[in-house]
Amino acid sequence: MIVLLCGILLMLAGIWTMLVKKNLIRMIIGFSILDTGIHMLIVAIGYVKNGTAPIIDAGVRLAKTAEGAKVVAEKIVDPVPSALVLTAIVIGLAVTALMLAYAIRLYKTRGSLNIDDFEEQKW
């Protein structure tokens, strides 16, 4: 619950930064904060009360369910949100690096990083 609230507040802070600031690098920092907030939201949903990590070692109790002697582990955290967030973190890094490469090229062309100076396509 605390983690969920922290994630939502980070998302709002990131979007506010992207909308209000004028420096290109600050907008990219805001995008990175938004990304972290979304990942925290997804991981917070997958928590099971008093659950342990989704690795099956000697400490996890195995049990049999009702239908025909299946063996499942009890009380471990949902593994699917962890797997999705793993992918999302690496993709976030790749997209941030690409955005920063674009920022460097824009600076070398125009000499400034303020988005008010790029006004070729304003109508």
Partner 1 sequence: MSETILLVLLALICLLSALYSIFTRKVLHAVIASGVISLTASIIYLLVAAPDVAMTEATIGAGLTTVVFLYTLKQVKEDGDD
Partner 2 sequence: MIKQLLVVLALAGLAWLLWPFLAEFRVSESNNALATEYIHGSINELNMPNVVTAVVVTYRGLDTLGEVTVLFLATAGVGFLLKRRELKGGKRRAGTEILRTGASFLAPLIVMFGVYIFTHGHLSPGGGFQGGVVIASAMLLLCLAYVDFDFSHRLLTWLESLSGLAYAGLGLLGLVLLGASSFLDPRFMPAGNWLRLFSAGAVPLIYSCVGLKVGAELSTVLDSLRGPGGAA
- Residues of the shown chain interacting with partner 2 in the complex, contacts defined by CB under 8 A: 1, 4-5, 8, 11-12, 15-16, 19-20, 41, 47-49, 53-57, 62, 65, 70-73, 75-76, 78-80, 82-84, 86-87, 90-91, 94-95, 97-98, 100-102, 104-105
User: What is the per-residue burial (b if ≥16 Cβ within 10 Å, else e) of 82-117?
Assistant: eeebeeeeeebeeeeeeeeeebeebeeeeeebeeee
Contacts of partner 1 in 25-64 (CB under 8 A): 25-26, 28-30, 32-33, 36, 39-40, 43-44, 46-47, 51-55
- Give the one entry of partner 1, partner 2, none that residue 66 binds, where binding means its C-beta sits below a cut-off of 5 to 8 angstroms depending on kind: none
Distance CA 34, CA 15 (A): 6
Is the CB of 102 or the CB of 110 nearer to partner 2? 102
Distance CA 90, CA 105 (A): 23
When binding is defined by CB under 8 A, the residue of 56, 63, 104, 115 that contacts partner 1 is: 104
Q: Classify 115 as helix, strand or coil.
A: helix
**Which residues touch 80 (CB under 8 Å, ≥6 apart)?**
46
Cβ–Cβ < 8 Å for 18, 31: yes
When binding is defined by CB under 8 A, the residue of 97, 119, 121, 123 that contacts partner 1 is: 97
Q: How far is the CB of 86 from partner 1 (least distance, A)?
A: 6
Q: How far is the CB of 71 from partner 1 (least distance, A)?
A: 21
